[in-house]
Amino acid sequence: MLAAGAAVTAYAVNSQPDTYSFFASTDVSGVSVDPDSRQVELGLKFVSKSAGTLEAVRFLKARGDRSAHRVTVWSADGDKLATATPRSETRSGWQQVKLAKPLDIEPGVQYVVSYNTTRYSASQRYFAGRTAKAGPLATVGSGVYDYGSGDFPEQSWQSSNYWVDVVFATEKDDEPAPAPTTAPTTTAPAPAPSATTATPEPTRTTAPPAGGSVLDLPRVAWEGGPSYYSKFAKGNEAEWDDPSFFPIGVWYEGTYSQAEIDKDKDAGLNTYVMLTEGSDMKLIERNGMHAMTEGRKDSGGETTGWIINDEVDMWGGAGNSTWTGKYPGQGEPCTSGKYDCGFDIMKRLSDGLPKNDGRMTYANFGKGVVFWQSDADASRFVNDYTTVVSNDIYWYTDPNVCYSSSEGPSLGVTKENCRRAANYGITMDVMRRLDGLDGKRQPVYAFVEVGKPFPEASAPTITADQIGGAVVNSLIHEARGVLYFNHNFGGPCISQHVLRDACGTAVRPAVSELNRRITSLAPVLNTQSYQWKFNPQLDTMLKERDGSYYIFAMPGRTGGTGEQKLTMPAGLGGAKAEVMFENRSVPVVGGTITDNFAKEFSYHIYKITP
């Protein structure tokens, strides 16, 4: 891949000095394959300073791409000027597709070349601050795309390069073309945006929390804590506005016997989010448990919320076109043949839920809102239909999340710092930022896997310590509930019930203890956090309850392991800090705590009572 800020060299194809391509001499060995498998038209805009002819279109074929391909040349207005199909292709790498007749290219006129595929290579931010040049040619803007079977590509994303190229020949009666030269170095692409630019606006405290004094610090914006749920109170849901309750749920379980409920309660769970067909709703209600369902007719007092659906941002895509009524695996979801009907899906499913019955509405989202979509589109998903949301980016186990340029790297997370608990905080930060764009707040829940949710052999299996780190980091970044993905789709132990059966033997005890800790801390977690940074290498949260201060701390996204110092804010006094759940204390010396964080998932919770 071309290094950031490097020059783009003009190249003479077939040793003809008057024939040019943009990327023929570029090292593309490091270009990653995007996990997106939707049919898409990918293109490049270009212009020439001199007249000539377009002889062929080139595209970088991704590893594992078995699509039928077609190349197209378009005018700037979307008129189709030429098409061609390859006579033969290699398994991967650059493919050159000759046009049936060379196409005349006018100087100063913009054109687009594209190809259609279902698997592709991409480099995000390649064109940020950069224009590629080759002889008289120059690119215009960044790469373009359009989902579907071959409409004009005009959308762009994160200044991406989709590795489409030209073979352009200058006219023979023009002045002799200069020898291949190196274009001047342009401004290097801007660094990937930080996932933490979305820090909520601080709010000043106007009244002290119960039983304690107030530090002179701003507060983190929130939805209001337990009182938020009071407007939805119905049946068992009345418990949710109790400060001693904190939602701890499991995704897509079944409830058919008392023994199953007992196991779940022993694991510290209190909520079922999405239930399998035939689950006994009355059994859930009798046990004082809670459920969020997709509008089941047998729902009673146990049902605290309605589920709209899961990951519509991914399988429906952003847009207002019409939903066919088909779900993933049933055929085209959108009548347009593209992935652009997600808003219609959300509206129609929302409209189909019981109305005015006092229950919350919930949806889980995925990579669309976190990585792929504009803030305007992502904000519509997050804010227009729900009163509770979550997002399931599995940083520890997803085989693609830090290798695809359109995912983790777009937020500054690379393969070197991918498998870290602190990245679960990135998901929370992005979701909370999007949630705040409409000027209102709703609870954002964390989603953490407890096994091996991906079937690929290369996909890791999360460990008990990593689960603990992921959950606590999500809490530090203001998660208002925790949901566990309870399924193994890979590895030697396939299961839909990891926290119940033998497949969860390695993690169940630790998850149960973690949930016990969360439940005991519910009155603390259900208070509004202070804004204070104890150490730039650590992710931290500061809360106050009944006259005591609570500091949650763990390594951040790029460091923070080993011995670390936490600097107290003015007004937070005390000679020592109890390290909760560790049967020890540490001294507070000169307004600082010194402690060790052995691993990236290590966390400590300190309690200071002045």
For 422-480, the DSSP string reads HHHHHHHHHHHHHHGGGS----EEEEEESS----STTS----HHHHHHHHHHHHHTT-S
Place of tokens 């970088």: 60
Tokens encoding 47: 């212009």
pLDDT at residue number 200:
34
For residues 302 and 286, give the distance between their C-alpha atoms in angstroms, rounded to a whole number.
8
Question: Parallel, antiparallel, or unpaired for β 271-275 and 248-253?
Answer: parallel
Question: Parallel, antiparallel, or unpaired for β 271-275 and 290-293?
Answer: parallel
Q: Using alpha carbons, list the distances in angstroms from residue 42 to 72, 115, 148, 216, 415.
A: 10, 6, 10, 53, 26
Residue by residue, DSSP assigns 91-105 as SSEEEEEEEEEEEEE
For residues 476 and 200, give the distance between their C-alpha atoms in angstroms, rounded to a whole number.
14
For residues 350 and 371, give the distance between their C-alpha atoms in angstroms, rounded to a whole number.
24
Length of the chain: 610
CA atoms within 13 A on the CB side of 442: 22
Nearest by Cα to 69 from 37, 115, 122, 112? 115
Nearest by Cα to 394 from 321, 484, 304? 484
pLDDT at residue number 156:
87
**DSSP summary character for residue 111:** E
For residues 320 and 334, give the distance between their C-alpha atoms in angstroms, rounded to a whole number.
10
Q: Using alpha carbons, list the distances in angstroms from residue 491 to 58, 397, 455, 460, 467.
A: 40, 12, 7, 9, 18
The enclosing H or E element of 54 equals: strand 52-61
pLDDT digits (tens, 9 = 90+) for 356-398: 788 999 999 999 999 999 999 999 999 999 999 999 999 999 9
pLDDT at residue number 211:
39
* Inter-residue contact 130 to 186 (CB < 8 Å): yes
Residue 376: count of CB within 10 angstroms of its CB: 9
> Maximum CA pair distance of the chain?
88
pLDDT at residue number 233:
57
pLDDT digits (tens, 9 = 90+) for 315-340: 999 999 999 999 998 999 999 999 99
* Inter-residue contact 319 to 338 (CB < 8 Å): yes
pLDDT at residue number 236:
53
pLDDT at residue number 331:
93
Q: Is 262 helix (H, G, I), strand (E, B) or coil?
A: helix
Q: Is 83 helix (H, G, I), strand (E, B) or coil?
A: strand
* Inter-residue contact 213 to 572 (CB < 8 Å): no
Q: Name, in order, each residue with C-beta under 8 angstroms of 464's C-beta and a sequence gap of 6 or more.
A: 506, 507, 509, 510, 511
pLDDT at residue number 431:
98
Residue 296 CA to chain centroid, in angstroms? Answer: 29
* Inter-residue contact 137 to 47 (CB < 8 Å): yes
Residue by residue, DSSP assigns 483-550 as EEE--B-SSS--BS-TTTSGGGTTTHHHHHHHHHHHHHTHHHHTSPPB---S-TTEEEEEEEETTEEE
For residues 197 and 174, give the distance between their C-alpha atoms in angstroms, rounded to a whole number.
51
Tokens encoding 138: 């120059």
Residue 76: count of CB within 10 angstroms of its CB: 14
CA atoms within 13 A on the CB side of 513: 11
Q: Using alpha carbons, list the distances in angstroms from residue 371 to 280, 318, 321, 366, 413.
A: 37, 13, 21, 9, 12
Q: Name, in order, each residue with C-beta under 8 angstroms of 551's C-beta and a sequence gap of 6 or more.
A: 534, 540, 541, 542, 566, 577, 593, 605, 606, 608
Does the predicted TM-score (pTM) go above 0.75? Answer: no
Regions of the chain short of the pLDDT cut 70: 1-17, 172-214, 233-238
pLDDT at residue number 74:
94
